[in-house]
């Protein structure tokens, strides 16, 4: 699901920022704005993101960057759980297509 992230339990803020092609400061801002993003923060202040955190970021990224919603609009959509079955199916289809493309690339390599 996280094609360019290595398989592990926790990810650094820089890995997550690189994955979404955003600045680490934007992730910190989103973390303050959206309770759905709740990384573990060590006593040293280092953030550790789980796959669940990354999935929340993916949804927020999609609402803000792809759908063009404002912060308030994204919060409303998340709060109302207004992500329809159709949207979920569309996401699953896209992910399946990506998975098949990756399998094809793997065979070529």
Query: What residues does each domain of the chain span?
Result: 13-82
Full 3-state SS string of the chain: CCCCCCCCCCECHHHHHHHHCCCHHHHHHHHHHCCCCCCEECCCCCEEECHHHHHHHHHHHHHHHHCCCCHHHHHHHHHHCCCCHHHHHHHHHHHHHHHHHHHHHHHHC
Mean pLDDT of 60-71: 93
- CATH T-level assignment (fold) for domain 13-82: Multidrug-efflux Transporter Regulator; Chain: A; Domain 2 (1.10.1660)
pTM: 0.69
What percentage of the chain reaches a pLDDT higher than 90? 53
Q: Is the pLDDT of residue 2 over 60?
A: no
What is the per-residue pLDDT across 8-50, written as a single tens digit (0 to 9) for each?
A: 899 999 999 999 999 999 999 999 999 989 999 999 999 999 9
**Given pLDDT bands bounded at 50, 70 and 90, which one contains residue 108?**
confident
User: How many whole angstroms separate alpha carbon 7 and alpha carbon 1?
Assistant: 10
What is the per-residue pLDDT across 40-55, written as a single tens digit (0 to 9) for each?
A: 999 999 999 999 899 8
Token pair in block for residue 17: 């920022």
- CA 71 vs. chain centroid, Å, equals 16
What is the per-residue pLDDT across 85-106, written as a single tens digit (0 to 9) for each?
A: 567 667 777 888 888 889 888 8
Nearest to 9 by CA among 37, 51, 58: 51
């Amino acid at each position: 699901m996280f094609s360019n992230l290595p398989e592990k339990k926790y990810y650094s803020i820089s890995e997550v920022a690189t994955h979404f092609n955003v600045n680490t400061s934007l992730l910190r801002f989103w973390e303050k704005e959206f309770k759905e993003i709740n990384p573990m923060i060590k006593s040293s202040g280092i953030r550790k993101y789980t796959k669940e955190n990354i999935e929340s970021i993916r949804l927020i990224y999609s609402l803000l960057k792809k759908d063009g919603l404002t912060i308030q609009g994204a919060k409303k959509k998340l709060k109302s759980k207004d992500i329809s079955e159709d949207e979920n199916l569309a996401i699953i289809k896209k992910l399946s297509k990506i998975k098949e493309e990756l399998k094809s690339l793997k065979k070529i390599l």
